[in-house]
Each structure stands twice: as structure tokens, then as C-alpha cells.
């Protein structure tokens, strides 16, 4: 009878055999914090540090890991990955209480970072915990783990905070021995234009290529900017080949950025692409508790819960509502929950823009890199058909226009055509996640532009 092997000893043998099949850096990146829990009914339970590792093991390494583990544990039938949430929970809890107020900080000229953005005051929730875990992975494995890291999501969801927190944590962890440079893509482009005018391109390249970490915010701004794309492509290659860390953010995933070179898009997708979604109620409440204490408002949890219930999509709007309610409560000395609820409705009314059809048409056209006339006129081209149907749907959903009005706007189309298009898009959104994401990004831009 074959002797049963000790679990921990067996797991070490599994890792040794894995090194014969995948690279040591891969083992170090994905398996260094994975621990065996037990084998029960033929199932090996492995403890993993976060959902990010769980997803990657399940999607990228499960088959080879199971095959290798079966060589050691003969009775093995399957593997189950169990997330250890201890660290994330500690992080979340720490957000509710700060020992001292955060003061106003100045942007540091050497890095272009604002020290107020840190991991400690970034509220982690189910909407962003994978991005947060990846950001921490970057700090601990510069140029190795998740390079490049590409974080995308709608306006006001905390992308800039997380990117700058990465930079600030690197400065702190490595005692200023690593050269970090943060910039928005607009700054990158404007500096490139100025250096070309002044014929000092070498100074520009030195600034962005002679760094250990380059953090570039809002890369969707590169759309249609050929020279900036070319310069970033060569900057990327220079940094990547020298194992320097690169971090990007965008309001959409790489494949949805229009009018961008394929070679640059492939660079964006070459590391880890991860999204941040709107926060759930618990995360919104945690954010409000943090901001409430930071700013010394001292509003009760009942009031914060009302705000968190009413404001659901955007962290900036959440903060705006908090500031508005705190000001009104202080000036009116009003704390009745019903009156507070009315204050939030008042805030929402004041901040609900009268969104014109012209604005919606322009934003949808820009999103798909089309001319406005392409969408409005009766042009029968395949590449225009879907964006035009999306436009009809958005005019209906966001613009609150009638089918007849939309038909009149789009060159006297029959209202039944508009109705059909809206219903078609609504149905396809439930089955096509990419389409759903496209429309959410468009709606987000319309509401926050």
C-alpha cells in the first residue's frame, strides 16, 4: 500500500515540479502566498491572498496545477481556491477611523504626486478590491508583477487616487531611491508639443524615460494623437526592456479606445488589465465615514446612510452631496432625517444638468470616432449602424426623449424604427457585456462631462 504524503511536504514537491513547467518568476508571482489547507473527498483546498490570485489561478494555471498536483497526491480529483480576506478586511476597517485629520498637501515637483493620495485613505470595497490588490502587487514587485498595470473605469471612481497612491507608496517604501514620475496624458501630450516647438525633445525623453516608475493617467486622451502615441510607444519599450514599472489608467479598456495604434493597444494589454466599478452601499458608507471625519463634519451615521442610499454612481458626487448636506445642516441647524433626505433631493436637482440632444449626439460620435453627421444622416454603412442604434437608446434613456422626437432628430426616421433600435440594444446589452460596458461609459461621460 502506497504511503500517504504529508500535505505541506507534498505541496512543496508540487511547486518544485511546477518549476519544470513554468518559469520561476511565475512561481514567485502567483504561488508565493498560496498555502494548502486540506485534502477532503479528493479536493485540495488552497488558501490564496485575494480574488485576483484566485481568478488568475483558475483561468491561467488550473489545468497544469491540477495535473502536477495529481502526480504527488494520487487520490486528488480537483482543486478549490479559498480567498483569505484578512488583509482586505483590516484595510476596510482602518478606513472608518483616522487618528488625525488630513491636511492640505502640495504636489511634489520631482514626482508630480500629491501626497494626500495614499493606500491608507483609499476605501476598499467589492468594486475595487482587485485593482487595489494589483496596485499593492506592483509596489512589492516593481517591473515584474503586473507590468504594465492598466486600470480602467468611469469618471469619479478613484482611478487617480489609486494611481497616485502607487507612486506615493513606492517613494515611501524605497526611501526615495526609485525615480517616480506621474502625469496625466494631457500633460504628456502638451509637454511633447512644447518640446517639439522648442526643439528640445531630448529633455522630454529624459524626463519620461529615465525613471523607475512611469504612471500615466487617462490614456484614452491619446485617441487620434499620432505623434503622442508614437512617443509613448517608444517610451514604453525603453522602460519595459529595462524592467521599469509602468502604470496606466483610462475611462475604458484598451480595445475600446478609438483611433489608437494597434501596437500601442497591444502594449496596454500586455500586462494586467483590471476595472473599477461603481461602489456598493457598504463602500459608499465607508467613504462617507472617512470624509466625514477628515473634514470634521461629525454627521451621524443615520445621515451618512441616507446620503449613501441616494447617491449611487459616482464618488465625486458622493463627496459633493456630503459637503452640501454638512453645510446646510450647519447653517440651518437641521438634523431631522426627513429634512436631510429632502436636502439630498435638492442637491440632486441642482446638479442634474439639462442634457441637450446635441451634447448626447456629440459624445456618442466622439466615443465611436465618427462625425456627428454620420449618425444623424441616412448613411447606410455597416460600421455606423450599431453606433446609431446606441445613440437612439441613449437619447431615450439619458435624454428622456420620445420615440417621435428622436426620429425627428435623426433625419425624420419613423418612430417604429427608433422603438425597434432601442428594444434591440436593451435586449443585446443583457447578453453582450462589452456592449453593456460601452453604453455605461457613454452614459457616464454624458452625465459627468
E strand map for 84-240: 149-152, 180-184, 213-217
Are 181 and 211 a contacting pair, CB within 8 Å? yes
The CA–CA distances, whole Å, from 249 to 155, 159, 218, 244, 259 equal 11, 7, 5, 17, 17
Every domain range in the chain assigned CATH 1.10.1750.10: 357-448
* Phi, psi for residue 394 in degrees, rounded to 5: -70, -40
Nearest to 55 by CA among 227, 203, 272, 226: 272
Q: Quick one: which H or E segment has residue 275?
A: strand 272-275
Residue 290 in this model has a pLDDT that exceeds 70:
yes
Every domain range in the chain assigned CATH 3.40.50.300: 107-275
Reduced to 3 states (helix: H, G, I; strand: E, B; else coil), residue 37 is strand
E strand map for 143-236: 149-152, 180-184, 213-217
Helix pair 433-448, 357-367: axis angle to 10 deg? 130
Q: How much is the average pLDDT of 73-99?
A: 63
Domain 357-448 has CATH 3.30.70.20: no
H runs (alpha helix) in 295-336: 301-310, 315-332
Residues 256, 116: Cα–Cα separation, whole Å: 31
Every domain range in the chain assigned CATH 3.30.300.180: 7-86
Are 280 and 126 a contacting pair, CB within 8 Å? yes
Domain 107-275 has CATH 1.20.1250.20: no
Sequential DSSP letters for 65-84: HHHHHHHH-TT--EEEEEE-
* Phi, psi for residue 435 in degrees, rounded to 5: -65, -40
H runs (alpha helix) in 223-296: 226-241, 262-268, 281-294
Write out pLDDT tens, residues 182-221: 999 999 999 999 998 888 899 999 999 999 999 999 999 8
Are 48 and 39 a contacting pair, CB within 8 Å? no
Residues 269, 261: Cα–Cα separation, whole Å: 13
- CATH top-level class for 281-351? mainly alpha
Every domain range in the chain assigned CATH 1.10.8: 281-351
The domain made up of 7-86 has a fold known as: GMP Synthetase; Chain A, domain 3 (3.30.300)
* Phi, psi for residue 412 in degrees, rounded to 5: 55, 45
Residue 81 in this model has a pLDDT that exceeds 50:
yes
Percent residues over pLDDT 70 in the chain: 89
CB atoms near residue 201 (< 10 Å)? 12
pLDDT at 324: 83
Residues 266, 441: Cα–Cα separation, whole Å: 21
For 298, the grid coordinates are 461629525
Write out pLDDT tens, residues 218-254: 999 898 899 999 999 999 999 999 999 999 999 889 9
For 128, the grid coordinates are 475595487
More confidently predicted of 366 and 235: 235
E strand map for 18-76: 35-40, 43-48
Percent residues over pLDDT 90 in the chain: 37
Write out pLDDT tens, residues 401-443: 888 889 888 877 778 888 889 989 988 887 787 788 788 888 8
Amino acid at each position: 500500500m502506497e504511503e500517504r504524503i504529508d500535505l505541506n511536504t507534498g505541496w512543496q514537491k508540487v511547486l518544485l515540479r511546477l518549476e519544470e513547467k513554468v518559469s520561476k518568476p511565475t512561481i514567485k508571482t502567483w504561488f508565493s502566498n498560496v498555502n494548502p489547507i486540506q485534502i477532503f473527498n479528493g479536493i485540495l483546498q488552497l488558501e490564496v491572498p485575494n480574488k485576483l490570485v484566485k481568478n488568475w489561478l483558475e483561468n491561467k494555471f488550473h489545468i497544469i496545477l491540477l495535473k502536477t498536483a495529481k502526480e504527488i497526491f494520487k487520490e486528488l480529483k480537483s482543486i478549490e481556491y479559498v480567498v483569505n480576506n484578512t488583509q482586505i478586511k483590516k484595510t476596510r476597517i482602518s478606513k472608518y477611523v483616522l487618528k488625525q485629520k488630513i491636511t492640505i498637501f502640495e504636489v511634489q515637483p520631482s514626482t508630480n504626486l500629491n501626497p494626500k493620495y495614499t493606500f491608507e485613505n483609499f476605501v476598499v470595497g467589492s468594486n475595487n478590491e482587485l485593482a487595489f490588490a494589483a496596485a499593492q502587487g506592483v509596489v512589492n514587485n516593481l517591473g515584474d508583477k503586473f507590468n504594465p498595470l492598466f486600470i480602467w473605469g468611469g469618471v469619479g471612481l478613484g482611478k487617480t487616487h489609486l494611481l497616485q497612491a502607487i507612486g506615493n507608496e513606492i517613494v515611501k517604501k524605497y526611501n526615495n531611491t526609485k525615480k517616480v514620475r506621474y502625469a496625466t496624458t494631457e500633460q504628456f501630450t502638451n509637454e511633447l508639443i512644447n518640446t517639439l516647438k522648442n526643439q528640445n525633445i531630448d529633455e522630454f525623453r529624459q524626463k519620461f524615460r529615465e525613471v523607475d516608475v512611469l504612471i500615466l493617467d487617462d490614456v484614452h486622451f491619446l485617441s487620434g494623437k499620432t505623434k503622442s502615441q508614437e512617443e509613448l510607444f517608444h517610451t514604453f519599450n525603453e522602460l519595459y526592456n529595462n524592467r521599469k514599472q509602468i502604470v496606466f489608467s483610462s475611462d475604458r479598456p484598451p480595445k475600446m479606445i478609438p483611433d489608437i495604434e494597434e501596437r500601442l493597444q497591444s502594449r496596454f494589454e500586455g500586462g494586467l488589465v483590471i476595472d473599477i466599478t461603481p461602489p456598493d452601499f457598504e463602500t459608499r458608507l465607508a467613504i462617507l465615514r472617512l470624509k466625514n471625519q477628515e473634514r470634521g463634519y461629525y454627521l451621524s451615521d443615520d445621515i451618512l446612510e441616507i446620503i449613501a442610499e441616494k447617491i449611487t454612481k459616482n464618488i465625486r458626487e458622493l463627496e459633493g452631496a456630503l459637503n452640501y448636506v454638512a453645510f446646510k445642516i450647519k447653517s440651518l441647524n437641521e438634523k431631522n432625517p426627513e429634512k436631510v433626505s429632502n436636502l439630498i433631493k435638492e442637491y440632486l436637482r441642482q446638479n442634474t444638468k439639462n442634457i441637450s440632444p446635441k451634447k448626447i449626439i456629440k459624445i456618442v460620435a466622439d466615443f465611436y470616432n465618427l462625425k456627428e453627421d454620420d449618425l444623424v444622416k441616412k448613411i447606410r454603412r455597416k460600421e455606423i449602424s450599431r453606433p446609431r442604434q446606441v445613440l437612439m437608446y441613449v437619447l431615450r434613456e439619458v435624454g428622456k426623449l420620445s420615440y417621435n422626437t428622436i426620429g425627428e432628430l435623426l433625419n425624420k426616421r419613423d418612430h417604429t424604427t427608433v422603438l425597434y433600435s432601442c428594444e434591440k440594444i436593451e435586449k443585446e446589452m443583457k447578453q453582450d457585456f462589452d456592449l453593456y460596458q460601452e453604453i455605461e461609459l457613454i452614459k457616464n461621460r454624458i452625465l459627468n462631462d
